[in-house]
Amino acid sequence: MRNALGFAFLLGVLLIVSLPAPLKAHAILLSATPAPNDTVHGKAVQVQLRFNARIDAKRSRLTLVLPGGELRPLAADQPMPDTLTSALSQLTPGSYILRWQVLAEDGHISRGEVPFSAR
């Protein structure tokens, strides 16, 4: 009986130790400026994207889709480990899409879009 309890205890410990570590989540967009479906006024606007995890700005991309469908790559700054910023200029009235692709610290790529319009 004593050996059976010892074996069960050992088996339990081995089972717990062999469980995989919890995986870190992909980068999820927490906030965006401009906000999704927002309307901005003026020809220049500051973009800010904040995520739930640290991101690698050097391996991340921001692209602005212009009203005619043309793609404009944007330079991204990283003022904080979880934030990307960029300056938009020469906006004309119309509908835009800010496309983002970020590499999170867990090694996974996340992508998304923020549609907005300019007046």
**Does 19 map to a domain?**
no
Containing domain of residue 29, as a range? 24-118
Q: What is the pLDDT of residues 62-112, one digit of tens each?
A: 999 999 999 999 999 999 999 999 999 999 999 999 999 999 988 999 999
- For residue 5, is it within any domain? no
Assess if residue 33 is contained within a domain.
Answer: yes
Q: Count structural domains, the chain.
A: 1
pTM passes above 0.85: no
- Determine, yes or no, domain membership for 64: yes
Strand partners, 94: 118
Sheet holding 83-88, edge to edge: 29-33, 45-51, 83-88, 77-80
In tens, the pLDDT along 17-75 reads 444 434 456 899 999 999 999 999 999 999 999 999 999 999 999 999 999 999 999 99
Which CATH number is 67's domain given? 2.60.40.1220
Residue 40, domain member (yes or no) = yes
Residue 15 lies in a domain: no
pLDDT band per the 50, 70, 90 thresholds, residue 7: low
